[in-house]
Chains A and B, each alone.
Chain A
Amino acid sequence: MSTRRVITLTVNGKSYERLVEARMTLADFLRSELDLTGTHLGCEHGVCGACTVLLNGEAVRSCLLLAVQADGAELLTVEGLAQGNELHPLQKAFHERHALQCGFCTPGFLMTAFAFLSEIPNPTEAEVREAISGNICRCTGYLPIVQAILQAASESGESSSESLSTPPARRL
């Protein structure tokens, strides 16, 4: 029996069809088959959160899924946040608040924060801390990340015309 399967999926608004090994993780698929290397792999067993992406709108660990399981799904990765050269409000806030240093964990934090703010647009600091508790950062000490997420949330509250939870890719 062949261990390769054809899968079709949408990533950041773009449709892809690929023949993949059944054993390939979704994270490896994004990085090596689609060249979307913004999704990072840290621990590869679901602990560090660096590989977090959105699968049908929900934040998941792409290292704990096989690519074949995402057949037919709609994915959003960190590459789908910015609109051309215009950074997403969360990315801007991370930049302004120095919420990253080496940047390895940043894609996971951004996707986690994105999913979190879609559900809770006006969070308390405690809620933000709880939301990012499944992502590990070894540079920042987390405080600037918490502040950046709160800033992005309050800025989007002011300009109500654009919701944080609507990524460019999903407006297609």
Chain B
Amino acid sequence: MPLMNLRLARPKVIIDINRLARLSSISAAANGGLVIGALTRQRAIERSAMVKERNPLLAAAMPLIGHFQIRNRGTIGGSLAHADPAAELPAVSVVLGAEFVLRSARRERVVRAEDFFVDTMTTAIQPDELLTEIRIPGWRPGLGWAIDEISRRRGDFAMVGVAVLVQTDGSEVCKDARVALFGVGGKPARMPRAEGMLRGKTLDQKTLLEIARSVSDELDTDSDVHASAEYRREVGGVLTRRALERAFVMATEGKKI
């Protein structure tokens, strides 16, 4: 709607899918994960006890999306398909390893979040396809998470944000880590180098600082009216360091770094 109100989009035909009640649901998947219909309101996900219990990272991301009046109408599928580079859900779905069900009259296919986001407001959805379902894998013991962002005012789009997921092996060693920044490019920006630096390591302050520096170097971002590229690189590194520290403390149940 904002795109049309600002006359940036002038579609000839609009099909309102809001009344497809079957696409609005949150259910428990057999693998311990979640299956969320694309039309589920963000507010419903925010209020869902099942989401809080099964996926604390997704639950924590919801209040960061706009304001409650926006979340009353905004849907999870709408946010993902819109693919605004500054939105939280695309980055969260990437670190969670979510899968999206795309349906058309021809077929149904499942696309990984990683492959779904192509560029600014551009996704793998074909013109005849509809995003119908979001599948989120089960939570595992030893997972730590964090999401953080910097915006001018509460509820504004993020100038820089980060979502992280850290998997420990039951001790203090990081088995796997996923880091995705948002608001810094056309699509959620995974940080493979930083993730590699975490694997097999016990996180200490020295490693954290090295990772922050690596993220700042690795970040390919532009300047715009909201923030300069230099600012985004600097803050991206700092936010990632803080988020990883919180996630690691959580995963190891309170070990000080």
Residues of chain A at the chain B interface (Cβ within 8 Å):
22, 25, 44-46, 49, 52, 55, 58-61, 63-66, 68-69, 112, 115-116, 130-131, 133-134
Contacts and interface: CB of A to CB of B under 8 A. Distances in A.
Which applies to chain A's interface (DSSP): helix, strand, loop or mixed? mixed
B120 interface: no
B6 A59 contact: no
B66 interface: yes
When A and B form their complex, which 10 residue pairs have the shortest distance between CB atoms, in order from nearest? A134-B67, A45-B2, A64-B1, A133-B154, A58-B72, A59-B69, A44-B5, A45-B5, A133-B155, A60-B73
A61 B73 contact: yes
A9 to B, nearest CB: 14
B224 interface: no
Contacts of A25: 1, 5
Nearest to A61: B69
A69 B18 contact: yes
24 contacts: A25-B1, A46-B2, A46-B70, A52-B69, A55-B72, A58-B43, A59-B69, A59-B72, A60-B69, A61-B73, A63-B5, A64-B1, A64-B2, A64-B5, A64-B73, A65-B1, A65-B73, A66-B1, A69-B16, A69-B18, A115-B69, A116-B68, A134-B69, A134-B155
Contacts of A133: 67, 153-155
A91 B4 CA distance: 34
A134 B5 contact: no
A55 to B, nearest CB: 8
A45 B6 contact: yes
B147 to A, nearest CB: 17
A25 B67 CA distance: 20
Interface of B: 1-2, 5-6, 14, 16, 18, 43, 66-70, 72-73, 153-155
Contacts of A22: 14
B65 to A, nearest CB: 11
Contact of B69 (A44, A45, A49, A68): A49
A54 to B, nearest CB: 10
- Most-contacted residue by chain B among A25, A59, A116 (CB, 10 A): A59
A69 B16 CA distance: 8
Given A22-B14, A69-B16, 19 more contacts: A25-B1, A45-B1, A46-B70, A49-B67, A55-B72, A58-B43, A58-B72, A61-B69, A61-B70, A61-B73, A64-B73, A66-B1, A66-B16, A68-B16, A116-B68, A133-B153, A133-B155, A134-B68, A134-B70
A61 B72 CA distance: 9
Contacts of A134: 66-70, 155
Contacts of A46: 1-2, 66, 70
A112 B69 contact: yes
A110 B218 CA distance: 46
